């Protein structure tokens, strides 16, 4: 399949595919005689793996390690578990920050009486550092 087909199938931008090739998380594809890239189902599966990992918030160095682990089916999954645990902890931290942000915004909006800007609780709260 060509890059446009791969892009549509995986739901990934063409430039993202080229970027992944440049940084080595996707192998350089075979080329046709006219220079066009040609991808296999293995490439599509690998790109799907990368996309899913990125959707879950894994950074590219972690994705690189997970891809390497995927190629060693008999190896221990301890490293994969450790990476996933680290990502879970980061997600928990982000959720806590977002909940705190939500509470502060709700408080600001709740205290705003929609009067004059000189009395606006939203503007006042944002002005405090």
66 within some domain: no
Burial of 83 (0-12, 13-18, 19+ CB in 10 A): buried
pTM of the model: 0.77
Report pLDDT digits (tens) over 103-126: 988 988 888 777 777 777 777 777
50 within some domain: yes
Report pLDDT digits (tens) over 32-73: 889 898 999 999 999 999 999 999 999 999 999 999 999 998
Which tokens is 14 given? 């063409």
Same structural domain for residues 128 and 80?
Answer: yes
User: For the domain that residue 3 is a member of, what is the CATH number?
Assistant: 1.10.1660.10
């Amino acid at each position: 399949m060509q890059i446009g087909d791969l892009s549509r199938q995986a739901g990934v931008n063409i430039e993202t595919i080229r970027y992944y090739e440049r940084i080595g998380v996707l192998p350089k594809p075979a080329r046709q005689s006219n220079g066009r890239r040609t991808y296999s189902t293995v490439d599509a599966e690998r790109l799907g793996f990368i996309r899913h990992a990125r959707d879950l918030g894994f950074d590219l160095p972690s994705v690189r390690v997970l891809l390497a682990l995927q190629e060693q089916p008999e190896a221990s999954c301890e490293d994969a578990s450790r990476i996933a645990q680290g990502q879970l902890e980061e997600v928990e931290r982000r959720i806590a920050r977002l909940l705190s942000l939500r509470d502060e915004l709700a408080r600001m909006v709740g205290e705003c009486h929609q009067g004059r800007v000189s009395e606006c609780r939203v503007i006042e709260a944002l002005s405090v550092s």
